[in-house]
Amino acid sequence: MTIDPRSVVYVAGHRGLVGSAVRRRLEAAGFSRLIGATSAELDLRDRDATFAFLAEHRPDVVIDAAARVGGILANRDHPTEFLSDNLRIQVNLMDAALAVRTPRLLFLGSSCIYPKYADQPIRESSLLTGELEPTNDAYAIAKIAGIMQVQAVRRQYGLPWISAMPTNLYGPNDNFDPASSHVLPALIRRFHEAASTDAAEVVLWGTGTPRREFLHVDDLADACLHLLEHYDEPEPINVGVGTDVTIRELAELVARTIGYTGTISTDPSKPDGTPRKLLDVSRLSALGWKPGIDLADGVASTYAWYRGQLGGAE
């Protein structure tokens, strides 16, 4: 199905890492009726306000990129907020979209929905077949509930809503806060600061051996538009690159990109998280989509963006 560029498209979370990339991609494709609201303008945890917003704008397409997100430390320390906030955001948004019968909705989840010890690469059919990674199980349960809501709406109301599960994301507008960031932006910040202060050593959390897959957020945004036009199934669909690296290899890439020449060591007393998390992207590939930004280029452009945000201050 082709999405008419004149469609009213609501990108929830349009200022975040994912939402801002999706908005850029839609603008590049000629979409001229994009709507959005900052969290100050619309708190999606507020059910009445969310219903009123959707009733006013009546979008043809909703892309749910709004979520409370964070890295392993934030997920470990604030599971209550990660569960409660995300459940309220997506339930309110989908209930409001259903009330106005939004024709097309894309719910974005996360690869953390899959069992900690799922067979690699992880197929979509692995969902609900084993225990979750304890450090982010609250967030994962919320996202699994979102998938179930999409499937329930399809089954009960026949609306062609879909859900996609991206792998680890990075890129412009990422969160570089040391207390709540994901691994790649955290490494960019730490190695930048280490290089700026001539620090002799950077210590990685855990053993450095877990393997992770990284997708540039601009590639995800391109995949979102592709899925809206080419995918209509109840099952979630994985979005990734199909290859992974160890955390140690990632750290070494970031260090080379930044020009840090000190020692990289590990702290095995800190948690590793899931040993490996590589998505099987064969279903997405069969739809004719593939990523276009390799990891080295993506890290370099993301670091350039980060430097730009610092305003040249060292």
Whether 247 maps to a domain, the answer reads: no
Whether 20 maps to a domain, the answer reads: yes
Beta strands, E only, the chain: 9-12, 34-35, 61-64, 104-108, 162-166, 168-170, 201-205, 211-212, 214-216, 237-239, 245-246, 263-267, 276-277
306 is catalytic: no
What range defines the domain where residue 41 resides?
Answer: 9-172+214-242+278-293
Whether 225 maps to a domain, the answer reads: yes
Mean pLDDT of the chain: 94
Whether 187 maps to a domain, the answer reads: no
Question: Which residue is catalytic, options 139, 170, 231, 303?
Answer: 139
Average the pLDDT over 17-22 and give the result: 97
CA–CA gap between residue 9 and residue 59 (Å, rounded): 6
Residue whose C-alpha is closest to residue 118's, from 127, 109, 107:
127
92-104 pLDDT, tens digit per residue, is 999 999 999 999 9
247: Cβ contacts below 8 Å, ≥ 6 apart? 183, 204, 206, 208, 209, 210, 211, 212
Residue 314 has pLDDT above 60, yes or no: no
CATH code, domain carrying 116: 3.40.50.720
Whether 312 maps to a domain, the answer reads: no
Binding site members for NADP(+) = 13-19, 108-111, 143, 166-169, 182
Tally the domains of the chain: 1
Three-state DSSP class for 229? helix
Whether 4 maps to a domain, the answer reads: no
Binding site members = 13-19, 108-111, 143, 166-169, 182, 190, 205, 212, 272
Average the pLDDT over 43-68 and give the result: 97
Whether 190 maps to a domain, the answer reads: no
Residue 181 has pLDDT above 90, yes or no: no
181 or 269, higher pLDDT = 269
Three-state DSSP class for 205? strand
* Token representation of residue 4: 């008419």
Residue 71 has pLDDT above 90, yes or no: no
Residue 312 has pLDDT above 60, yes or no: no
How do 162-166 and 104-108 pair as beta strands? parallel
At 193, the pLDDT band (50, 70, 90 cuts) reads: very high
pLDDT, residue 35, reads 97
pLDDT, residue 284, reads 98
Average the pLDDT over 29-37 and give the result: 97
At 313, the pLDDT band (50, 70, 90 cuts) reads: very low
Binding site members for substrate = 190, 205, 212, 272
